Amino acid sequence: MKRDSELSDTLAQAAGAEQEMWLLGQAPLRKYLDFVDEVGCKNPTVNRAALVREWSEAALWYEELAQREPGIADQLDCRPLDPVVAPLAEAVLASSRFTRTFDHLPTRLAMVELKHLVVCQNHVTRSFVDNLKERLGADPQPEALFRFCLPPDDCPAPVRIRELGSKRYEFRSDSTDFRFHEPVVLTPQQLSGYASFGSVAAALGLVIGYSSNFLNAVCDDDSGRLLLNNGYHRACALLELGVTHAPCVVQTVSSRDELDLVAKPIVANDPGYFFNAPRPPLLKDFADPKLRKILPIRKVSRVIEVSFEVRDYMAEDQFTGG
């Protein structure tokens, strides 16, 4: 398949831009075009017809791959963890980040083959992948690889906090993993470092942070395929470093209802495509120049805005003693 080299060269010339690595040919096309419009670097010489043509050529290549590599996603190799990382695995399994995240379905830790993982996320940030490769280095030892994939400690990205009003706050992070967790009622004993002007009865916390940050995959009990659920940047970095297998949390689903609990909506809405199609998109496709597209993008941040309301009034006591 011949790529539109002129378009690729034009896009690559955006000086100082972040770069996003896209898998073309994966529906919906509209999502790709909207991304270019909303996040891509503005370039009047790039036309939408050329973008559509490249995407369509990649879709045709996927059709050819379905003939060349039918059932390749069924050939994924899954191995036990290296015994040397057993203490690290025990610590992960005992952590609240693990027990609160993976509490719905049968779950195990395993060494999964990276290149044959089915993927549902069709883009990653090129600079982040490069930074991860530099951080880990080539030929990592089993312990370093385990900590890279299943970090025992939180290493969150920096967060910028801004007060927008007396009851409105903005939280901003460069990480796409940034999210609102939950509201939680705290007792006075759970507050540390807070100097109150009076006795504290309780505190309401609105928790903002990140996910468990564990490389994890969903295993279809019927086909045996593994779909990468979280950890795309690390998986791409490992593949580029020549690492073939990586420690991963594997959740097994045996029904569509169970899939709804743990998978992303794009997977839950069309499980047949990812778990039964002859040739679904695979992690190794990010290395295929016929499918991969490098796009310059504007630097963006994930923003979470929180506001609250306080009402103070008298009401008849609804509680009775006994």
pLDDT at residue 18 is higher than 60 = yes
126 shares its domain with 252: yes
pLDDT at residue 3 is higher than 60 = no
8 pLDDT band, cuts 50/70/90, is very low
How much is the pLDDT for 15?
Answer: 45
pLDDT at residue 93 is higher than 50 = yes
Q: Which domain holds residue 30?
A: 5-69+298-302
| Mean pLDDT across 274-287 | 97
Residue with tokens 């982040």: 128
133 shares its domain with 234: yes
25 shares its domain with 132: no
Residue type, 221: D
145 shares its domain with 57: no
pLDDT at residue 268 is higher than 90 = yes
Q: What angle do CA 113, 115, 116 make, to 5 degrees?
A: 75
**Count of the separate structural domains present in the chain:** 2
- 202 within domain boundaries: no
Range of weakest confidence among 13-27, 218-232, 259-273: 13-27
Question: For the segment 29-56, what is each residue's pLDDT rounded down to a tens digit?
Answer: 999 998 888 877 776 566 789 899 999 9
**Helix H segments across the chain?**
5-12, 29-38, 48-68, 86-94, 96-101, 126-136, 142-149, 232-241, 256-262, 265-268, 271-276
Whether the ω angle into residue 87 lies within 30 degrees of 0, i.e. cis, is no
51 shares its domain with 99: no
- 228 within domain boundaries: yes
According to the per-residue pLDDT averaged within each range, which of 8-12, 290-294, 318-322 is highest? 290-294
Residues 95, 65: contact at Cβ < 8 Å?
Answer: no
266 pLDDT band, cuts 50/70/90, is very high
How would you write 72-88 as a 3-class SS string?
HHHHCCEECCCHHHHHH
Structure tokens at 53: 């043509």
14 pLDDT band, cuts 50/70/90, is very low
Measured distance CA(65)–CA(68) in Å, rounded: 5
Give the three-state DSSP class for 204: strand
- 34 within domain boundaries: yes
| Mean pLDDT across 192-216 | 90
18 shares its domain with 56: yes
